[in-house]
Amino acid sequence: MDQVPLPTPPQSPLPSQPVVSETSPATPAVAPTSFGPTICPRCHFPVKPEYYYCPNCGAKLSEPPLPTGLVDQLLLYAFSLILPWIVYLAITKWQGIKYLRASSSRARQIGLIALILLVASSIVFFWLSTVWIQGTIQSSLNDVNNINSFGSGL
């Protein structure tokens, strides 16, 4: 079987290509070019600029955008509303932080709405908890007073 050799990465970048540092996690791992495929920094496999992961080795090339569809928004908002009710056990699963830190203004807006819903539902949760606890204490005190007044009538 004939094997086609993979292209080797260029020794020096062209002036039109930005230099990508492999130590900087904030920059994408692949330098985007306007004239064809780029090269995976891990396995040197040619990849398209729009790829988020290398199809050969699976290396993360760039950060995929966050979904901003209606269903994704509704799920995030619903989770923001019920999160205090499950006593913050799943705080690590809340995606609102990712949306707040996104580069897209649409994603940041969705994250802000989710944060507002989370804070509002937390306030309602704590208020209802306080009212319930106060009601339970008052009911217990009334029961104790009723027992004392019943016993004094004998």
Q: Which of 46, 64, 82 is the last residue of a domain?
A: 64
- How do residues 39-63 score in pLDDT, each as one tens digit? 888 898 888 888 888 888 988 888 8
Q: Are residues 106 and 83 in the same domain?
A: yes
Residue 101 token pair: 């830190």
Quote the mean pLDDT of the chain: 75
Q: Are residues 88 and 138 in the same domain?
A: yes
Q: Of all helices (H) and strands (E), which one includes residue 39?
A: strand 38-39
Cα–Cα nearest to 60, from 79, 47, 76: 47
Residue spans of alpha helices (H) in the chain: 70-82, 96-100, 105-152
Predicted local confidence at residue 115, as pLDDT: 86
Predicted local confidence at residue 84, as pLDDT: 65
Residue 50 token pair: 């729009």
Residue 151 domain flag: no
Supply the pTM of this predicted model: 0.48
Q: Are residues 27 and 81 in the same domain?
A: no
- How do residues 75-124 score in pLDDT, each as one tens digit? 888 877 776 656 555 556 677 888 888 888 998 999 899 889 888 888 88
Predicted local confidence at residue 90, as pLDDT: 56
Predicted local confidence at residue 26, as pLDDT: 45
Q: How far apart are CA 146 and CA 27, in angstroms?
A: 71
Range of the domain at 118: 70-146
Predicted local confidence at residue 114, as pLDDT: 86
Residue 98 domain flag: yes
Q: How far apart are CA 24 and CA 20, in angstroms?
A: 8
Q: What is the tally of helices (H) and strands (E) in the chain? A: 3, 2
More confident residue, 87 or 150: 150
Select, from the ranges 12-16, 84-88, 144-148, the one with the highest average predicted confidence (pLDDT). Answer: 144-148
Q: Are residues 16 and 82 in the same domain?
A: no
To the nearest 10 degrees (0 to 180), the angle between helices 105-152 and 70-82 is: 30
Question: Which value, in Å, is the radius of gyration of the alpha carbons in the chain?
Answer: 29
Q: Under 8 Å CB-to-CB from 112, ≥6 apart: which residues?
A: 100
Residue 107 token pair: 């994603």
Q: Are residues 55 and 5 in the same domain?
A: yes
Predicted local confidence at residue 138, as pLDDT: 94
Q: Which of 64, 80, 100 is the last residue of a domain?
A: 64
